[in-house]
Chains A and B, each alone.
Chain A
Amino acid sequence: MIDAKKKMALAMVMLAAPTLGLRPAAAQIVPGQLARETAKDYREAARYPASSHALKKGDADPIRAKRLPTRQTRRGPDEAEPALSVWAAKVSFEKGQPVDLYATLDNRGKAVAPADLAGEIVDGNGGIVALVAYRDDGQGPDRKAGDRVYSARWKPEGLEAPQAASYMVRVKARLADGDLRQAAGGFLYSDPSAHLTGRYRDALRDGNLVISAEVDVAEAGRFHLAGTLYAASGDPVGFAQNALNLEPGKHWIDLAYYGLMFHERQAAGPYRLGALALSTTTRMPNALNDLVEDAYVTRSYRVQQMRADSFERPELIEAAKRLEMDAERAEREAREPQKQ
């Protein structure tokens, strides 16, 4: 009997042992807090459908943010300066467009000149498809001579590329002292199966603002359209997206901006479609069309014409309920640890 009790006690200690990590008395994780705060976030998000949500004043445009090329920066061994940064003019280039590439060498904020700067463009199989030389001569893609932003241009020709392909750019910079810096960038090369025709229209439907964009489909596939909406003041209002399987020909794709966002932003129309992104998503990698800026301005609308009710997305409400039960259990266990 005593042995069994000891075994039980030992088992209980072992069950609790993993939680007995050392930490300062003042620092703690509040029991149940993670579940409760997650549930709160879900209830907030549930007010909108998955296809549309409001943007707050000062929010970055989520579509532009994804189409803005970022720099890949790499230093020497043990983070030795200077750092080589490389980037492409766009995240994705449409078929037929020249690919403009850039590079800088930077020593703690001060641009330095390399002895030599060259790149290899490599396909997904590791094959080198082109060699490019970076120049700072103000010619071609280089915007200003001598600014130490080095530029190169590749004009893809005769590529038997699929709908879209990723290319890596391996850049080597030889420093004046002979040392080497290397960095890897990249870009997508896209041959989208549909293009925006430039025709748009808008309407109110079920208290939502629906902006439709016409697309010309050359090859059947799946197409994704996303757009951000702005008020006349320039402040962002919201985001909407849609995806459809379409056959060749001209079609309209609707973007439905959920009515509640206009009430929350107190934004009356007309509204401006600030950023519009079409892509062919039949397969990975997706083929991205060029971003269209300020594509369309709607007619005038009053906020009162829009629906003001919460969407109450069921799967998020259900997830929130379950998390709240998790939180209650964790809080209860923390209050009554002896019953665990």
Chain B
Amino acid sequence: MRFRRLTVPLLAALAFAAVAAQAGAQPCLIFVHGKQTDTNTYTSYTSARNYWVNGSNDFIKTATKNFATSYYVVGYNGTRPYWEPQAAGEVANEIVNATNGGADGGGHRCAKTYAQGGTFWVVAHSMGGTIMDYILGNNDSTDPNFNANGPYDQVAQRLSLAIAVGGAHRGSQGADAVCLNSNVLCSFIAIFIQSCDDATYWLRSSDDVQVRTFSNAPAKTVYLTGGYEAIFGASACLNGEDDGVVQYASIFACNGSATASYDNTNVCNNSNKQEASGFRNLDAAHENHSDERDASDSDTRKAIPGGNWTCSGSPCAPNTTVATMTTAQYITLLY
């Protein structure tokens, strides 16, 4: 009895120590959500956290290997243009807070600070990708919008890399449809894009609102993955493969027209991005825009040009089925 009393706490302590050591050695994951139709994720941590949850499915729990890896959840005003203080400014400040060891709204903090040698990876969904492009492309004093409304330079210094999931790097044809008042056929888009509000206006696919018009190549690499599961109705408004809200040309940050049609075989490779450097392909998943961020659809994953799946020692041919798993599970393979 005495042995048992001593052993159980000892094992628990060892388990805690093991988890803590692992967390200390792995990158802290910083989650940046996407477009919102209200300000809830900005005003409520619970809303920001729940962005990544669908019932019992939890993107953050999965991506952090059951919370073994430390994490931080960012909440910003997803109704404002990507470049505004409550969007890019808030995200930049929160990322720096995370790297300083500060807690997010739920009390979660990175296991190591930047000063202690910690590494930090951002996982951004949808408009979160656009915001990261703006921050990381305006981090130097010679950039057009250097530190416009936040410490972009510190963000760029301290992040190791970013992973954009279904990122709206070149805007969204869903936003075009909503701002054209022709979204009757695109009803599902309303979950993310309800009206042509300010954020939506700045997520259109024309050059005057594109993040690349107002920034340089990202200072740290932005890795690209996204879904190709159509959404009935919504996908009819988007060119080529899409996740029901964002078309491939945007998810994979392609150069040229943001409305060009691409699929898994021909989506732009790493030499044909919206910037000459700083964007790299990962893979594509049979997930829609909602599945991508809540780990609710463990489905087929496909290789794409310039992606990171290896088949028998060589890059897998584009459109090869490489796995069946959620994007959150896939992220666990990357670190």
Contacts and interface: CB of A to CB of B under 8 A. Distances in A.
B333 A19 contact: yes
Contact of B180 (A35, A55, A92, A170): A170
B179 A168 contact: yes
Nearest to A19: B332
Contacts of B83: 284
A192 to B, nearest CB: 13
Interface in B53-79: 62-63, 65-66, 68
Contacts of A271: none
Interface string B236-270: 11010000000000000001111110000000000
Nearest to B282: A34
B26 A284 contact: no
A66 interface: yes
Given A50-B142, A72-B258, A75-B239, A23 B323 contact: yes
Interface stretch (B35-43, B102-110, B124-132, B144-152): B144-152
A315 B152 CA distance: 13
B157 interface: yes
Contacts of B143: 50, 224, 241, 243
B319 interface: no
A71 B170 CA distance: 13
Nearest to A187: B208
A208 interface: no
B311 to A, nearest CB: 5
A124 interface: yes
Contacts of B277: 41, 45, 53
Given A21-B329, A69-B207, A323-B119, A1 B3 contact: yes
B66 A21 contact: no
A68 to B, nearest CB: 8
A184 B325 contact: no
Contacts of A91: 207-208, 213
B190 interface: no
B330 interface: yes
Contacts, number: 225
B228 interface: no
Interface stretch (B4-12, B90-98, B286-294): B4-12
B22 interface: yes
Interface string B11-37: 100010001001001110000000000
A1 B4 contact: yes
B266 to A, nearest CB: 16
Interface string B319-335: 01111111011101111
Contacts of B207: 69-70, 88, 91, 186-188
Contact of A241 (B26, B216, B275, B311): B216
B195 to A, nearest CB: 10
Interface string B135-146: 000011111111
Given A19-B333, A286-B145, A41 B221 contact: yes
Nearest to B276: A62
Contacts of A14: 66
B321 to A, nearest CB: 7
Contact of A51 (B25, B140, B212, B329): B140
Contacts of A185: 206
B50 interface: no
A65 interface: yes
Contact of B160 (A45, A50, A70, A319): A319
A38 B324 contact: no
A28 B309 contact: yes
A322 interface: yes
19 contacts: A8-B15, A17-B66, A18-B66, A18-B328, A18-B329, A21-B325, A27-B311, A27-B322, A34-B335, A50-B143, A74-B239, A168-B206, A169-B206, A182-B182, A184-B176, A186-B204, A186-B209, A243-B146, A286-B145
A-B residue pairs, 10 tightest by C-beta? A21-B325, A23-B323, A186-B206, A27-B322, A50-B140, A51-B142, A29-B333, A186-B208, A224-B144, A184-B176
Interface of B: 3-4, 7-8, 11, 15, 19, 22, 25-27, 62-63, 65-66, 68, 81, 83-84, 117, 119, 139-146, 148, 156-157, 159-161, 173, 176, 179-180, 182, 185, 196, 198, 201-202, 204-209, 212-214, 216-217, 219-221, 223, 236-237, 239, 255-260, 275-277, 298, 301, 303, 308-312, 316, 320-326, 328-330, 332-335
Given A284-B83, A326-B27, 13 more contacts: A16-B65, A18-B62, A18-B65, A34-B161, A38-B160, A70-B257, A166-B202, A167-B208, A188-B208, A188-B213, A243-B142, A284-B148, A285-B208
